[in-house]
């Protein structure tokens, strides 16, 4: 008589696959339960939410390095509001352009995912949400009475040529770029929401964006946490070096004023240097990428070699 066989215990890979599928199902359901429309859920024309350069709600937050300077504090209120609006509108426009690249990458990725891949449904939810974000951001820029700067054309061209194809050909590198575009701005928006006195329109837009970006960041981290351990030594070294380069570059792009804003609002060069070479400015950059830095440590990507890159980009901290 043959003894009954005992099913083999689930492998770590199988357990990881089930856990990932459960997470993706939860993220997809959350997209169904809580999602927003750029025109139905934002009160663009309600009292108190219009663009007005006399409105004291349009000011830089106290933690912005430029807001700490005596030069900014001595500006007439209307000039302070115009400069703050230009900063916010430029951040929003850069966010719109980044999400355009993200959507194209996710569309390319979804085209090649198997029908039974649990990522497929979630990726399509994220594409739909990013579409609403781009509508919301572009409407903000369109209505804004001051000029907004975006990513210079070489940046958008390079993104289209190199970042979008990574979504299928090297997805770990693609999702590193996703974290670079989303983590610093998520940090800034959450910090703004913790402050009091943010303009009601800006606050409403940020609350919508933060709520949905939490899912998008979770998906990017989930992918990296599963993909990076499967890479060989060279692949891990590449991702380990790419991560601080992307985070250092994108944090500056998202959190610091563009040269165009500085010129049009006549910020003197000594004031720029005072604001953005200050210890507070360096700390702001380091704080904005704390979560990706923690992920690098979790995935074993913070090595003596890669730590030097984090330090060279000014975004390293011991945490």
Of 100-114, 194-208, 261-275, least confident by mean pLDDT is 194-208
> What does each C-alpha distance from 43 to 55, 114, 201, 205 come to in angstroms?
17, 40, 8, 10
Helix 279-288 to helix 233-255 angle (10° resolution) is: 130
User: Residue 11 above 70 pLDDT?
Assistant: no
Query: Is residue 263 a contact partner of residue 198, using CB atoms and an 8 Å limit?
Result: no
The per-residue b/e assignment along 170-183, b for 16 or more CB within 10 angstroms, e otherwise, is: bbbbbbbbbbbbbb
Predicted confidence at residue 1, as pLDDT, reads 42
Per residue in 239-267, pLDDT (tens digit) is: 999 999 999 999 999 999 999 999 999 99
Q: What are 183's two structure tokens? A: 């983590």
Predicted confidence at residue 239, as pLDDT, reads 98
Of 41-50, 124-133, 299-308, least confident by mean pLDDT is 41-50
Neighbours of 64 (CB within 10 A): 23
Supply the mean pLDDT for the chain: 92
Predicted confidence at residue 6, as pLDDT, reads 42
Using pLDDT thresholds of 50, 70 and 90, give the confidence band for residue 159. confident
Predicted confidence at residue 48, as pLDDT, reads 83
Can you give the three-state secondary structure of 209-260, one letter per residue? Answer: HHHHHHHHHHHHHHHHHHHHHHCCHHHHHHHHHHHHHHHHHHHHHHHCCCHH
Mean pLDDT of 112-123: 94
Percentage of the chain lying above the pLDDT 90 cut: 86
- Quote the CA–CA distance of 194 and 1 in Å, as a whole number: 70
Neighbours of 142 (CB within 10 A): 9
Can you give the three-state secondary structure of 53-113, one letter per residue? Answer: CCCCCCCCCCCCCCCCCHHHHHCCHHHHHHHHHHHHHHHHHHHHHHHHHHHHHHHHHHHCC
Tokens 């599928």 -> residue = 21
User: Residue 197 above 80 pLDDT?
Assistant: no
Based on its alpha-carbon atoms, the radius of gyration of the chain, rounded to whole angstroms, reads: 22
Using pLDDT thresholds of 50, 70 and 90, give the confidence band for residue 5. very low
Give phi and psi for 315, each to the nearest 5. -125, 20
- Length, in residues, of the chain: 319
User: Residue 9 above 60 pLDDT?
Assistant: no
Q: What are 228's two structure tokens? A: 């990076």
CATH number for domain 34-312, candidates 3.40.50.300, 1.10.599.10, 1.10.620.20, 1.25.40.10: 1.10.620.20
Q: What are 56's two structure tokens? A: 């004291």
Q: Which residue has the higher pLDDT, 287 or 152?
A: 287
């Amino acid at each position: 008589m043959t003894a009954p066989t005992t099913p083999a215990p689930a492998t770590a890979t199988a357990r990881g696959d089930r856990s990932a599928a459960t997470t993706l199902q939860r993220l997809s359901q959350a997209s169904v339960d809580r999602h927003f429309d750029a025109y139905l859920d934002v009160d663009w024309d309600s009292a108190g939410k219009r663009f007005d350069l006399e409105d004291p709600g349009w000011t830089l937050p106290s933690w912005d390095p430029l807001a700490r300077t005596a030069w900014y504090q001595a500006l007439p209120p209307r000039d302070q509001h115009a400069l703050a609006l230009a900063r916010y509108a430029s951040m929003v426009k850069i966010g719109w352009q980044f999400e355009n690249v993200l959507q194209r990458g996710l569309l390319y990725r979804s085209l090649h995912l198997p029908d039974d891949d649990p990522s497929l449904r979630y990726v399509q939810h994220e594409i739909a949400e990013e579409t609403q974000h781009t509508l919301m951001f572009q409407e903000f820029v369109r209505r804004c009475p001051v000029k907004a700067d975006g990513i210079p054309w070489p940046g958008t061209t390079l993104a289209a040529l190199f970042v979008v194809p990574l979504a299928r050909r090297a997805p770990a590198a693609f999702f590193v770029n996703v974290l670079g575009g989303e983590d610093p701005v998520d940090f800034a928006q959450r910090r703004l929401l913790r402050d009091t006195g943010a303009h009601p329109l800006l606050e409403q837009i940020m609350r919508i964006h933060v709520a949905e970006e939490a899912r998008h960041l979770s998906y990017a981290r989930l992918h990296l946490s599963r993909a990076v351990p499967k890479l060989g030594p060279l692949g891990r070294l590449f991702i380990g070096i790419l991560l601080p380069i992307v985070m250092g570059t994108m944090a500056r792009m998202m959190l610091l004023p563009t040269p165009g804003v500085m010129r049009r609002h006549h910020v003197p060069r000594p004031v720029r240097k005072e604001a953005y070479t200050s210890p507070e400015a360096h700390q702001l950059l380091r704080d904005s990428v704390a979560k990706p830095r923690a992920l690098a440590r979790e995935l074993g990507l913070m090595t003596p070699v890669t730590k030097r890159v984090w330090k060279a980009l000014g975004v390293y901290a011991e945490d």
